[in-house]
Every structure is written in C-alpha cells, then in structure tokens.
Structure 1
C-alpha cells in the first residue's frame, strides 16, 4: 500500500517552505502585539459546538461527544467562533480577539483549505468606518509597504480604497444592483446576460461579482467593498440611512478576499427570523444532505439583546501571511498544508 503523502517527504516539504513559515510566526507575533497595545483581550472558545453556524452554503464537519455514562451528543467543528465571541462581549463589554482554528468541508484550492486559522475581533462602540480604520492599521503593522500578488504590486501604506457594492456594480458591471431587488430576471436584463436554469438573484449577483467586479478591485491598494445588499446582511445591521443595504464590508487585495466584517446586529428577534430563513434556504439548496438539523443556538440569541453596539471582523490569517510572504498558495504558509 502506498501512502498518499509519505511521512519521509515531510522534511523536504517543510524545508522548501520554511521561509514562508517563519514569516507566519512574525505575522503572528505582530498581530498579538497590535491587539495587546490596543487593550484587547485574547480569548479561546470551543471548536466542537452544538451549532456550527448558519451560513447557507458552508459545509461542516460532524463529530460526536460521548459522556462517561455512554450518552452521545452530535457536535460540529465550528466554521467561525463568531457566536461564542459575541457571547463573551455581551457578558463582559470587553474588546476581544481570537486566532481560531476553523473547519469548512468540501473546500480546497490554492486559496482554500479544510482547516485554517481565522483571526476575529470585536470592539464595543466601533462602527464600520472605525473598524476599517483599525483594519488598515493592522495590515500596515504586519505587512511590508508593498506586497506582490501575481503580477500586481499592491501598496499597503497609502489609504485603502473604500467602495460601496452599488458603486462597484455601477462602475464595473453597468448595473444599478439595488434597483433589481430580489428579481433575478431584472438583474439579468440590466447586466445584459442570460439567466441560467434555476439561477436565483443571489446566484447571479455572485456570478457578476466574480466575473465583473472582483477582477478590478484591490489591484493597486487594498479595497474595502462596503454596504452590501440587505439580502446579504447575514449578522449585520441594516443601514438606518438606506435599509436596502447592510452595514457590512469585505476586504480585497490582489484578487484575494481577506476579510468579512459587520456592524453587528443586536436584535435577537430579527436575528432569529434571519436564521429561520437561512435554514429554509439551506434545506432547499441541499435537500439530499443529512445531518443539517442542528439546534438553534439559543445561548447566542439570548446574549444578543445584551450585546453593546459594536463591530466585528473575520480575517483569514493564512491569506494575510500569503501576502506577507509573497506566495499564492495557502499550503505554503501552513506547517503541514494539504497541498
């Protein structure tokens, strides 16, 4: 029998990427110094949880807890520590951060791994704008002034671009995205493209995003893509000035999505309604997949009404190290990467 990744290859594989791995350690130390200096508390939360998250399209890893008396409870490896971290903020009012191991099944590419490290932080009193300021400061603290991604030279020192989703679609796709609502045929007509069989508004939105918007942003400096359509609000508040959009941003650099951030929703009733809608969409999208009926995270929902106004962000730590190290493969910056 031939081992698919023989252990005798480990020394050579690790030696080949040792410069990248040492840079990983430098970035790790820089992150901790950055947050410690700003008064954040580093926390740790469980990885195996009763509810792994409610993102519709993320696939999860299932496990099981067995007690000393033989009772068994299904658990899942979390896709993000978000729910647990917000419970801590609600209980303490403290700004917190975590470098968490997270798991997402059915993923794998030069930018994706089944297991990776997520940097998340939550700050009471922060707004979307102040969180963008802080994110810029973090990247300047841990990255060189210029990073190379493929053929792009991306400046980290200048101010990052801040571009709303509506402005990005108008500029690069010629579409008034907010005017299309949830009407997939209307969006297809506006974009001048054919609607595929069974394609929803959300499906077409992301097809256009990947084909027409993402190739143009974050190429000379990182870009914050802000104010997403309300249907993509997830756990974010709607914008009081325009309820068609959510107070959410994603950060891009050189075609790589680095981070996803929200000005956090603190209304448990609205959040429950969103979760119920997400569950219905997940069951409709993946009707043949068993084991998706985990319980609602009641502890999170109970804590939500006590969550102070705050903003939070999830940033792919491995992808950040890729930028710092100048490599295009996530496996290069993981000690025993999959690839």
Structure 2
C-alpha cells in the first residue's frame, strides 16, 4: 500500500467509524497530503509505515515558516490522528508525532455582533425578491437557534416541530439534538415556506430541504457566506463577519442575559463544555455582576 491507499483507508474510517462530515475529512486529508508534497519535493521516498520522527520534525520545521501557530498546531494534530489510526489498525507500532509538541496558540475569542447590528443586517435585506424572504428566514434561524452554517443548509422541513417549539438539528458526526426555536424565527420560516418555497419547482432529491436556491436545489455554504458579506457591506458594518458570527452572538447574548453554560452547550451541540467556556471570556462585566449578585460575600456587613 502506498500513501494514497492508506489515506483512502483512513478517510473511510473517519466517515464510517467516526461519522465525520466531508468537510472535516477533507481537512484531515489535506494535512497528510501536505506531508506527501514535502516528501516528494525533498526526494524522500518513505512509506507511512516507515517514516520516522526525524523526518516528521523536518516537515514541521518547514511548515512553521509558512503558516501561523494555529495552523501549525492543527497540522500536527491531524497527523497525530492519522498515525494513531495506523497504530489502531496494527499497521505500525509507534506514532512518530508522539514527542512533537504543537505550539501554544491560546484561545481566539470569537467575534460577535450587538443586537442592533443584527437588526440592521436583517433590515437591510431586500424583501422585494423571493431570495429576500428566504434570506431573512435564514438569518433569523442562524441567530435565533445558534446553528452552524452546515446545519442551516441541511435543515429539513421534517425537522420542524413548531407546535413543540423545537427544531431537530443534525450536527457534527451526525449527532442529533433538539434546539428551541423562537416565535420570530418560526414566523419568518413559515412565511418563506408558504409564500415562496411552496410555489417553487423543487428538485426531487431536495423535496424535504427547507432553504433552497433559485433552481430548487440545496444552498451551498459559500452562498450563505456571500449573502452575509454583502449585507455587511450594505450596512457599512466595520467588522469581518461570517455565518458563525451569528452562532457566537447567539451564545454570547444568552450568557449575558443569564443563561447557564450547560444549557448553552446543549443548544450549540458542543461535545465538551470546555468548548462552550470560551464565551465566559467575552464579557468580564457580566461575570462581575454574577459574583455581585449571587456570592454570599458580595457585600461588607
């Protein structure tokens, strides 16, 4: 087996055994392919079963001059996972990245939007077009439910449980969760569905997909990015935003208004609460108010 064969076997493992999305699998694969390019450029003829820590260290050193610390850490993590798989399948006995440390990167705090900035973006949508009604419903859903962009574009009509006040989300690793959906998001989803979607010619394979492009097919992630970027320009918003910004804003605003971290974790679909804890760093004023309100030593007697 050559590198390609092992990579394909690893990709199958990630898809079938770990249930990862195509985007995540592509990212893992890209890191391994980057190593293969390095080997080819330096005339190093070695298989994944024979490659040593020294060769990997040479690769990491070369990469460190091309990417930032965060990307370097991701590459090291991805390669560790690949060689961990080879050990799991009894292809090799050791992981050549075992003693290679990733650079310390710290946590990057997510960008957020103020409520009035979100209102301005949604109000800037041109509702004279069919796409406008759809876009308003999508942004209200992104912000109102804290979805990932991949979860938004794959949302199905059969996932809507408005009578119960929930929508069913299929997240990373095909894990499902129920997320509360507010009355405003419900209103605009129903309006889009009744006045626009129900009158479209929908492609057969997307008959249950909620948000569609003008050709009756599924929207791409890139299209959602473009919609939001154009609205940011239209409103002269001096921030670099993406669909994920609405998700960050959802979590931050809930926390600021008194929601507990565990509830936010469940709604976001974070596997570990340590991922959710990043939002604790966003508003120091809020944390101070929590202590002043609830700690038994909050005041001097």
Whether TM exceeds 0.5 here: the answer is no
Higher helix share: 2
When normalised by structure 1's length, the TM-score is 0.26
Q: Name the structure, 1 or 2, with higher relative contact order (CA <8 Å, separation 6+).
A: 1
Pair member with larger Rg? 2
